Amino acid sequence: FRSVSHMWESMEHPDPWGFQLRSIAARYREAGLDSVTWVFVDFMSLYQYKRSAEEDEFFRKGLNRMHWLYSHEIVQVDILSELTPEDKKFEGEIWVYNAVEDQVKPTQISELRLNNTPYELRGWCQSESEWSRLRMDVHGGCVPTPPDIFRKRMQRMRFTHRNDAEQVFLLQEKVFRDKCSRTSHLQLQELSADDLECLHGALQHYIQLQYIVVNGNTLKGQDAVAMLTSGAMDIQMESC
């Protein structure tokens, strides 16, 4: 099972030029996936406009549980962080919902409300990225961010449709505390000095932690102390 974290390049349609679709298809083709793979893409997997009352109920249920699709241990998250390059854009029409006429109709791409905000400044994208870090295996650049640090970082984020900042803050905190409180094993690999500093603040939330395996990290004294005072009963350090 895989989930795709991607940008909406316009308010009406996430992928007006098909660049994201081609990118993820090429990535999966290169990976040589030889079995049935379920892929979650919000635009295709959740009901879009215009929704019936029943569809809207399913949409909201999906939205409220979407973090499972990025934080669950069995789900691989694929991040598409590149906007469509200028040389891949073209003039043309795509089918989108028109709120004024209350119908889906062909619309010129030039008439869409485009959004060129980069991945790292998008609120929901960063939420999905954060949820994907809440795993037993923690690699360099993927350390879970404690809620207080996340809230500070999110002050500069933007949202495609509306300002969902407070909703995102609360959801990230809920998911972080819930996942950390149930995690008993951590495998830490190739963490940078910044990763380790962030980890200091996160470790205190792993209240059920029993085992830590640290591999390929250059640890300073304060890093080792943080591991030893985490409450874990078994700590293994290799190539540190």
Tell me 5's DSSP state: E
HEC letters along 163-182: CCHHHHHHHHHHHHHHHHHH
Main-chain phi, psi angles of 73, to 5 degrees: -60, -30
Whole-model pTM: value is 0.83
What is the predicted pLDDT for the residue at 98? 92
Tell me how far apart the alpha carbons of residues 61 and 46 are, in angstroms, rounded to a whole number.
Answer: 10
CA neighbor of 131 nearest in space, from 194, 166, 92, 174: 174
Amino acid at 195: D
For residue 33, what pLDDT band results from cuts at 50, 70 and 90? low
Mean pLDDT of 114-138: 91
Could you report the per-residue pLDDT of 128-175, keeping only the tens digit for each?
A: 999 999 988 888 888 999 998 888 888 777 776 566 778 788 888 999
The token pair that represents 39 in the structure block: 């892929």
What is the predicted pLDDT for the residue at 128? 92
CB proximity list for 15: less than 8 A, separation 6 or greater:
6, 9, 21, 43, 84
Q: Is 165 exposed, middle or buried (0-12, 13-18, 19+ CB in 10 A)?
A: middle
Whether the per-residue pLDDT at 3 is higher than 90: the answer is: yes
The token pair that represents 191 in the structure block: 């963490």
Could you report the per-residue pLDDT of 48-105, keeping only the tens digit for each?
A: 988 999 999 999 999 888 889 999 989 999 999 999 999 999 999 999 999 899 999 9
pLDDT-above-70 percentage for the chain:
97
What is the predicted pLDDT for the residue at 34? 66
The token pair that represents 47 in the structure block: 């009901």
pLDDT-above-90 percentage for the chain:
54
What is the predicted pLDDT for the residue at 44? 93
What is the predicted pLDDT for the residue at 103? 92
For residue 237, what pLDDT band results from cuts at 50, 70 and 90? confident
What is the predicted pLDDT for the residue at 160? 61
Q: What is the pLDDT of the chain when averaged over all its residues?
A: 89
Q: Locate the DSSP E strands across the chain.
A: 2-5, 39-40, 76-79, 93-98, 103-108, 137-139, 185-189, 211-215, 234-238
CB proximity list for 212: less than 8 A, separation 6 or greater:
185, 186, 188, 227, 230, 232, 234, 235, 236
Helix and strand counts by DSSP (H, E) for the chain: 9, 9
